[in-house]
Amino acid sequence: MNGNEVEIRMKKEEVLRRVTEGGLVAVVRAASGEEAKRITDACIAGGVVGIEITFTVPGAHHVVEELAKVYGNGEVVLGVGSVLDPETARIAILSGAQYVVTQSLNAETVRLCNRYRVPVMPGVSTLKDVVSALELGADIIKIFPGELFGPKIIKAFHGPVPQAQLMPTGGVSVENVGEWIRAGAVAVGAGGSLTGGAKTGDYEAITATAKKFLAAIREARG
């Protein structure tokens, strides 16, 4: 076990606090590691604290390693997404990831993250999986894909399981993020609606959109 792992484990509660207080996780998908880093920089410039480097990015673990060196002072919390199995989660943790987000509920991935006290956010779309995720010890439960349900799903799930900390990803925009927050989401994940400027090389647009997202979240929280 390296020193980086120890640091991550000791800060689990702090990572979760910063993700929920920030309210916005930037879901970074890119065609190259360099593009992913530029998107990340633009999001951080806009005030985003939670960064999720998806494992669809080529060489994602190397991107995490490089970003961890730059932002390892606690300025941001750096996580990974699109994690399908425990092997990938372990690689991410060793590379410096401070939390792990999955596309679906994989029990072994959740157990591995808990073993190393790394926050884990499994993706679910049914009440059954919400309950299963809670039983496995998931920290935050990702509602995915959010656009299939809309904000009403948060209240629907909170009826029988009010203790679940839910974070929608997919279909969250500047225009509707306030609805998700008011419905009870502890945070939201935003991908293309936040980072779309990268397609035309307009990284300043990403920074501007990040600021709008955060302003809308603050307003919704009152």
Return the domain boundaries, the chain: 3-221
Query: Confidence class of residue 1 from pLDDT cuts 50, 70 and 90?
Result: very low
CA distance 119 to 13: 8
For 53, the 3-state DSSP assignment is strand
pLDDT of residue 160: 98
Q: What is the mean pLDDT of residues 63-77?
A: 92
Residue 110 has pLDDT above 90, yes or no: yes
Query: Confidence class of residue 7 from pLDDT cuts 50, 70 and 90?
Result: very low
Residue 3 has pLDDT above 70, yes or no: no
Classify domain 3-221 by CATH architecture.
Alpha-Beta Barrel (3.20)
Tell me, letter by letter, the H, E, C secondary structure of 170-217.
CCCCCCCHHHHHHHCCCCEEECHHHHHHHHHCCHHHHHHHHHHHHHHH
Of the chain, the percentage scoring pLDDT greater than 70 comes to: 95
CA distance 124 to 121: 9
118 closest CA partner among 135, 138, 141, 88:
138
Alpha helices per DSSP H over the chain: 3-10, 12-22, 33-45, 60-70, 86-95, 107-115, 127-136, 152-158, 177-183, 192-195, 203-221
* Mean pLDDT score of the chain: 95
pLDDT of residue 74: 84
Contacts of 52 (CB under 8 A, 6+ apart): 25, 26, 27, 28, 79, 80, 81, 101, 189
Residue 6 has pLDDT above 80, yes or no: no
pLDDT of residue 9: 44
